[in-house]
Amino acid sequence: MKERVAVLGAGSWGTALAIELGRSGHDVLLWGRDPAVAERIAADGRHPRRLTEFRIPPETRATSDLGEAFGFAATILVAVPCASLRPLLDLAPARPGRGLRVVSTAKGIEPDTLRRMSEILAERYPQAAVAALSGPTFAEGVARGDPTAAVIASRDAAAVEALQASLSSPTFRLYRSDDLTGVELAGALKNVVAIAAGIVSGLGFGHNTLAALVTRGLAEIGRIVRSQGGQDRTVQGLAGVGDLMLTCTGKQSRNRFVGEEVGRGRRLSEVLVDMPEVAEGARTCLAVPRLAGAAGVEAPIADAVVQVLYEGVPARDAVERLMTRALRPE
C-alpha cells in the first residue's frame, strides 16, 4: 500500500532508506540540511556524496526545509546520527503527536543521560507512536536491493503492525517486536563490540581472537539488555547476533574500521576527523560502563574500549587484561 513517508537525514543510511521506500512505490521526502544536496538529487537523481552509484527513484524527492519534511507525512523515519538528534528536534516544528509514527533508525545511547533514541523522541512527541528499526543493514546493500531483514519495535502494537506492513517489501523484510528497549540496546551495544573486534584485528590477531571477542561480546550485550528489561530472544535475533555478526566482520563497518585503525596505532581523534560519516560506537562506549555499573552487571569489553580510546591504555595491554581476568564458568 502506497504511503507518504518522510526520511530525516541524507547520509548513507537515510539515503538508502529513501531509495528502498521509493523503489517500493511509496511517496518519499528525504530531508538533508544541505540545500545543494537536495538540488543535485532533483537535477541528477543521485546523491552527490553518498551512494553515488545508485539512482534515487522518482518517487523520492529531497528537501532542505525541515518544516516541509515534518508536515509531509504521518510516518517519519529519523536517520540522523545520535548526537544530532536533540539539535534536530530543537529545530523541528511543533505538531500534534496524535496519529504521528516516529521511527528511530540510529543505533546509540546518549552518554550524558543514558537515554535511548526512542526515549528522546518520546520526550518531544509524547503522544506519538515511537518505534525503532534495527538489524544487520549496511546502507549499500539496502540501496542495491540485496535481500535484507531487520526488526521494527514499538510498545504500540497497532502502530508496529502497521509499520511492518507498510515498510516491508520483497527485498526488505521486517519482523515486529514489542521489545523496544532490547532492540535499541542491542543495536547500540554491538557498535562498541565492533570497535573491539576492529582493535584485535588491527593488532594482527587472527580468527581465534575475533571469534572469542564476538562471542563474549554477545554475552556482554545479553547481560546489559536483560538488566534493562530487554528480552533474550532479541539478543539472539536480527537486532542482536545478526547485527553483531555483520558489524564485527563486514568491511563496510565504520565501527570496526575505527577499531582497526586504533589497533594499528592511530589516535581516535585522527581516525574520526578523516571519516565522512559517524561511527556511533565511539560515543556510545562512554555510556556503557555507566549503564552496566548502575545495573550491577559487568561490561569488561566496553570498559576496555573506553580505556583504549579515551584513557591512553595501549590496545595490547587492554587485550592482556581481558585475557587475564579471574577465571569463571562460561
Catalytic residue among 2, 107, 190, 251: 190
State phi, psi for 101 to the nearest 5 degrees.
-115, 115
Distance CA(252)–CA(254), nearest Å, equals 6
Selection from 243, 141, 142, 137 nearest residue 194 by Cα:
243
The DSSP annotation for 130-177 comes to EEEEESS--HHHHHHT--EEEEEEES-HHHHHHHHHHH-BTTEEEEEE
Known active-site residue 2: no
Distance CA(112)–CA(110), nearest Å, equals 6
Distance CA(165)–CA(176), nearest Å, equals 10
CB neighbourhood size of 44 (10 A): 12
Cell of 127: 503522544
- Which active-site residues does the annotation give? 190
